[in-house]
């Protein structure tokens, strides 16, 4: 391993922890994935007196590392939306993702890779949209949609297209057309479209109990009867406020890593599912923890926050406009009666620029 670095980096917690974690990981030799990081992040207030590069290469000098450029180096930018973090790839010149699903798994690994909940590709627009977004989860599977990812995508486009101020564009996703708008304060407001409630389309094998929708229905998981509502935001969500015995959830007490996978792989969900465990704080304030399909426990899930407000309204628990507290911070969600669309507003932040030799 060879390191060429002369730099001064000033960070304040908690970003400093994340930075040093990522940087120290970058120094390790990796069997089939090596990366070089050059940091220039205003959101982290990194000040470098000279450029920094770390070569995590077994026998490569900086020159040979750079020679490898031709054989496949990936430049990326890491973003996060409330701690739900993604590797963003500029894929505007091709409709084929520059990273395979297997490579995405390695890149997302928090010990042997860059570390992320997913890899997102900014691709040429299709169906009349300005851009297309595709995403691979950290397990390599490809979901239809990602709410926090859309906000990160919008900020990434603004960065690489050098857009300033308020901007709106259209994105084609597996969930159809999505419209993010960057606000003057840097937050991103996203028209997430309409929720899908028909059981078969979510998809769930649970039988519709309110028309064709599954609302406050019983689902037995590991011998316990949970009350669930099923909503798709393009991707499937199972939302629960508690068990049949009437006990409301206290999400902080939940053993998420034990129960989460049992929902994800339940036979009632043929495409697996994301699951949101929700506590109602008031008619306009909810608190949730999420177990994501293909990514496990994450700090935030945008589509999940939208889906749980729909579930809360359908179950008569809240009004249509709510603040949702996620482990990584709050999102503002509104399910508008006029157009049946859901609007999500929240932050997206640049973490660092990096390069990976695939």
Ligand X SMILES: N[C@@H](CCC[C@H](N)C(=O)O)C(=O)O
Q: Which of 107, 158, 295, 308 binds ligand X (CB under 6 A)?
A: 295
CA distance 68 to 62: 10
Please enumerate in sequence order all residues whose Cβ is within 8 A of that of 8, keeping only pairs 6 or more positions apart, or say none.
47, 48, 49
Is residue 229 part of the contact set for ligand X (CB under 6 A)?
A: no
Nearer to ligand X, 54 or 88 (CB): 88
Residue 27 CA: distances (Å) to CA of 16, 91, 279, 320, 323: 17, 27, 41, 48, 40
Phi, psi of 24 (to 5 degrees): -65, -35
Instruction: Single out the residue of 274, 291, 331, 354 in contact with ligand X (rule: CB under 6 A).
Output: 274
Residues from 235 through 264 that contact ligand X (CB under 6 A): 235
Q: Quick check: 199 and 268 in contact, CB under 8 A?
A: no
**Residue 301: active-site member:** yes
**What string marks each residue from 70 to 89 as x (binds ligand X by CB under 6 A) or -?**
--------------x-----
CB of 277 to ligand X, least distance (A): 15
- Least distance to ligand X from the beta carbon of 276, Å? 11
Q: Is 148 in the site for ligand X (CB under 6 A)?
A: yes
Least CB distance from residue 278 to ligand X, whole Å? 15
Q: In angstroms, what is the minimal distance from the CB of 130 to ligand X?
A: 20
In the three-class reduction of DSSP (H, G, I as helix; E, B as strand; rest coil), residue 252 is classed as helix
Q: What is the DSSP string of 165-231?
A: SSEE--EEETTEEEEEEE-TTS-EEEE----B-BGGGTT--SPPSBTTB--SEEEEETTEEEEEEEE
Catalytic residue among 108, 230, 301, 306: 301
Report the nearest approach of ligand X to the CB of residue 250 (Å).
23
Catalytic pick from 146, 230, 306, 322? 146
Residue closer to ligand X (CB basis): 276 or 279: 276
Three-state SS annotation for 159-178: HHCCCCCCEECCEEECCEEE
Residues recorded for the chain: 358
With contact defined as beta carbons under 8 Å apart, do 54 and 34 qualify?
A: no
Which member of 147, 180, 260, 347 binds ligand X (CB under 6 A)? 147
137 binding ligand X? (CB under 6 A): yes
Q: How far is the CB of 66 from ligand X (least distance, A)?
A: 34
Size of the site for ligand X (CB under 6 A): 18
Q: Does 328 bind ligand X (CB under 6 A)?
A: no
Taking CB under 6 A as the binding criterion, the range among 11-19, 194-202, 250-258, 288-296 that sits at the site for ligand X is 288-296
Distance CA 323, CA 139 (A): 30
302 near ligand X, rule: CB under 6 A: yes
Beta bridge pairs of residue 227: 218, 242
Rounded CA-CA distance 330/292 in Å is: 18
How far apart are the C-alpha atoms of 214 and 314, rounded to whole Å? 10
Q: Is 322 annotated as catalytic?
A: no
Site residues, ligand X (CB under 6 A): 84, 137, 143, 146-149, 235, 274, 292-295, 298, 301-304
Q: Which residues are designated catalytic?
A: 146, 301
């Amino acid at each position: 391993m060879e390191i060429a670095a002369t730099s001064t980096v000033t960070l304040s917690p908690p970003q400093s922890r994340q930075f040093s974690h990522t940087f120290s990981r970058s120094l390790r030799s990796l069997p089939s994935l090596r990366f070089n990081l050059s940091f220039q992040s205003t959101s982290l207030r990194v000040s470098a007196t000279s450029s920094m590069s770390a070569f995590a290469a077994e026998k490569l000098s900086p020159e040979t590392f750079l020679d490898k450029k031709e054989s496949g180096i990936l430049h990326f930018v890491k973003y996060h939306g409330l701690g739900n973090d993604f590797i963003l790839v500029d894929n505007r010149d091709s409709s084929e993702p520059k990273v395979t699903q297997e490579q995405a798994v390695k890149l997302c690994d928090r010990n042997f890779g860059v570390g992320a909940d997913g890899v997102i590709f900014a691709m040429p627009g299709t169906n009349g949209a300005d851009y297309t977004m595709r995403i691979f989860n950290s397990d390599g599977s490809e979901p239809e949609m990602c709410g926090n990812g859309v906000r990160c995508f919008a900020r990434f486009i603004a960065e690489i297209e050098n857009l300033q101020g308020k901007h709106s564009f259209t994105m084609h996703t597996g969930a159809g057309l999505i419209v993010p708008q960057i606000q003057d304060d840097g937050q991103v407001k996203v028209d997430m479209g309409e929720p899908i409630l028909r059981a078969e389309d979510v998809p769930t094998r649970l039988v519709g109990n309110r028309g064709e929708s599954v609302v406050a229905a019983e689902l037995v998981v590991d011998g316990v009867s949970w009350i669930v509502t099923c909503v798709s935001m393009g991707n499937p969500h199972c939302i629960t406020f508690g068990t049949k015995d009437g006990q409301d959830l206290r999400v902080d007490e939940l053993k998420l890593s034990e129960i989460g996978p049992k929902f994800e792989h339940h036979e009632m969900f043929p495409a697996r599912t994301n699951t949101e465990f929700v506590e109602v704080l008031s008619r306009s304030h909810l608190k949730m923890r999420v177990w994501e399909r293909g990514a496990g426990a994450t700090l935030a899930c945008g589509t999940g926050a939208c889906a749980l407000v729909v579930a809360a309204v359908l179950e008569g628990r809240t009004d249509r406009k709510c603040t949702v507290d996620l482990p990584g911070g709050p999102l503002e969600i509104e399910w508008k009666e006029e157009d049946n669309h859901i609007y999500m507003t929240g932050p997206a932040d640049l973490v660092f620029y990096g390069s990976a030799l695939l």
